[in-house]
Chain A
Amino acid sequence: MEKIDKIILGSNAFEGVGYLSRAQTRHYLEFFSKKENIMPILEASFNLGIKSFMCSNNPNILSALEDFKSSSDLSILAVIPNAYEYARESTEKGVLGMILSRAKEIDLYQRIRMGLRALSKIQGIVTKDLLTLLTNLMDFEMASFHSYNVTGVILHGQVTDLALSSDNKEIFDVYQEIVRERYKVQPILATHNFGTLLPKLMEWNIKLPIMASFNKKGFIMKPTQEECERMLEKTDYFIIAKKVMAGGRLSPEEAFQYLSDKNIGSVVLGVGSLSEAYHTLSVAKSIFLNP
């Protein structure tokens, strides 16, 4: 398995995703619509020694990365597909319908704009089944990161959980094969249902890092906080904890203390302001890097 840093900067706030309140979501959407507000946080994080950044191909984030002078020294963990964007755009077609439409548009786009280079990558372009279209979509989204050092690809939690509930091993096989063979990086699965996903992956003999909610409040830890903690204690899977501050309800001090003795490989930390970045990341460093 590729090495994954202990502390990863998350990008939910930059994408207008907040769990504290809808008011906070609106603030993030407005504030981080300007790349000038994202860059200082990237810079502060980098200067504090946090070199991993998890993000989707959100235009504001890509624009900030473009201007950030140390972006080539960052290890990028790309989240695909960019489900929030599809969810916002989707209508009665549904998210899947939207993804399918987009994937088909991408075929055309890639043919025209990317020419042979794209075509040679899309091996199954003649068989327009779902997996081919999703592959095209992954190619398109990954193309946004072509000038950065992508070290891992994270399958978005909504997609992982949809695939999990379909009880279809092949989807996970195809996903990890594409990420390993095509992009030569580490495949990672995000989920909101750690307690259901882990046993299923073990049954299928699929061993991938899992990114899941772990926090003192049990916020979005499914099926229950106790079951997730019990499985975490015994597993030899690499676990990346997310929502560690329970969507902003816990201070870094109390949140990280809970995690300090847990079998956690990495933590993803989202921050919504410069001062928050200094506070949160400094506390994280003191607990996770210099215990």
Chain B
Amino acid sequence: MLPQDKRMVGIIGFGKRGILHASMVNINPDAEWKAVCDTNAQLLTYMKNFYPNIPFFLNLDEMLEQIILDTIFICTPEYTHLPLVKKLSQKNMNIFIEQPLADSLASSKKMMNLISGKNNVYSIGYYSPFKVLFQKAKGLLDNKALDKVKRYRASMYCTLSQSFHYSERTIINTLSSFFHLIYWLFGPVKSLYGRASHKLTEVKSGISLILDHSSGLMGLLDFSWSRPGYPLPTVNISVEGTGGTLEISDDNLKLYLYKKKQGLERGWTTLNISDIPSPSRFFLCEEGYYEGNSSFIQSCSGEKKSSISLEEGLEIMRMIEASQLSIDLKRVIFLDEVK
């Protein structure tokens, strides 16, 4: 591959996600990591040990002036996303934004207006669609293995509140990722009704929701960030259809069919994560990250590999805002009333 065919990548924000993306770009033959920008001077000094040949910038303008870049990963807190996209969209950059899209629905909409009509690739960092087990589940649902899906129950539990350092951002990030999995599996939401024991961002709390999807499907969601014993966010989804049921978790799929269909046996079929070959050629931190990162790079190179669009990120912001509104107003909220 000629150097000019490679994506010239800059990373903004060098926390956990920034380091991960930099590492994954570094081993991707289709991309070259050229620079990093972070306002934390101390961190940059430390990181020079790890990446002595990568220029570090405390000032974004300087990075953009001094380094030729065509692709940017934004890995900073969400309140910075809108101003960063505003600046970068003027320079015709391909942009990857770590989720959630922005700090509010209003900011997200402004961002979408900024990039409207541009020919660059824009993507957001949701990784569930790149996990093989969830892909398998999505395939079963899309191929109507359960015939007509009637309803589902989904939960995500984690133990954020045991950490002294957790923040509102951590909760919203986790919720955003859960909402995206639901949206990706079951499609757009028409309305929702939510209840929470405390405010959405309090330490010991959780949220329960009833979702009505545009397809007519109904779902019950339970999300708690204060359940002991869940060091990793843990997902369980139980889907009921006219032709059978499907249990989806982070570890396995359990399909029960009332009759033989599409080569699948009547009764139980269990598929464990270790039974499904992973296409990923590099493993860093967690399954899905490398695939999400390389999918975006391939999209930027014009290859036919889809990455997650910012429109999906906007829809998730709408779901988060609607949930908060429903909890506050104690009534059903239609997503099209969330402006």
Contacts and interface: CB of A to CB of B under 8 A. Distances in A.
**Co-complex (A, B):** yes
Interface of A: 16, 19-23, 25-26, 29-30, 88-97, 100, 129-131, 133, 158, 161-163, 165-168, 170-171, 192-193, 196, 217-220, 222-224, 246-247, 249
Contacts of A223: 281-282
A94 B46 CA distance: 14
A182 to B, nearest CB: 18
Given A93-B15, A94-B16, A170-B49, 6 more contacts: A97-B43, A130-B47, A130-B50, A161-B23, A165-B23, A168-B52
Interface string B7-21: 000000001111100
B283 A192 contact: yes
B169 interface: yes
Which of A21, A90, A158: most chain B Cβ within 10 A? A21
Contacts of B27: 165, 196
Nearest to B19: A96
A98 B47 CA distance: 14
B232 A133 contact: no
Contact of B46 (A89, A133, A192, A218): A133
18 contacts: A22-B234, A23-B251, A25-B231, A88-B231, A90-B165, A91-B165, A91-B170, A92-B169, A95-B16, A96-B16, A97-B15, A97-B43, A161-B283, A165-B24, A165-B27, A170-B52, A220-B283, A224-B281
B285 interface: yes
B252 A21 contact: yes
Given A22-B249, A94-B16, A96-B16, A167 B26 contact: yes
A22 B231 CA distance: 9
A222 B283 contact: yes
B175 to A, nearest CB: 15
Which of B249, B278, B283: most chain A Cβ within 10 A? B283
A114 to B, nearest CB: 23
Contacts of B251: 20-23
Q: Is the interface of A mostly helix, strand, loop or mixed?
A: helix
Contacts of A19: 274
Contacts of A196: 27, 282
A129 B47 CA distance: 9
A100 B46 contact: yes
Contacts of A222: 280-283
B231 A16 contact: yes
Nearest to B45: A129
A124 to B, nearest CB: 12
Interface of B: 15-19, 23-24, 26-27, 43, 45-52, 77, 163, 165-167, 169-170, 229-232, 234, 249-252, 272, 274-275, 277-278, 280-285
Given A130-B46, A249-B272, A166 B51 contact: yes
A163 B16 contact: no
A233 B77 CA distance: 46
Contacts of A97: 15-16, 43
Contacts of A219: 274
Nearest to A224: B281
A90 B16 contact: yes
A19 B274 CA distance: 9
B162 to A, nearest CB: 8
A243 to B, nearest CB: 9
A47 to B, nearest CB: 31
A219 B250 CA distance: 15
Contacts of B272: 249
Given A96-B16, A166-B26, A217 B274 contact: yes
What 10 A-B pairs are tightest by C-beta distance, nearest first? A94-B16, A223-B281, A165-B23, A130-B46, A94-B15, A21-B251, A192-B283, A91-B165, A130-B49, A22-B234
A196 B47 CA distance: 22
A249 B166 contact: no
Contacts of B17: 94
B250 A22 contact: yes
A196 B252 CA distance: 28
Which of B16, B166, B169, B234: most chain A Cβ within 10 A? B16
B50 A163 contact: yes
A89 B165 contact: yes
Nearest to A162: B23
A88 B15 contact: no
Which of B45, B50, B163: most chain A Cβ within 10 A? B50
Nearest to B235: A22
Contacts of A26: 229-230
A166 B283 contact: no
B229 A30 contact: yes
B237 to A, nearest CB: 13
A160 to B, nearest CB: 11
Contacts of A95: 16
B85 to A, nearest CB: 20
A174 to B, nearest CB: 9
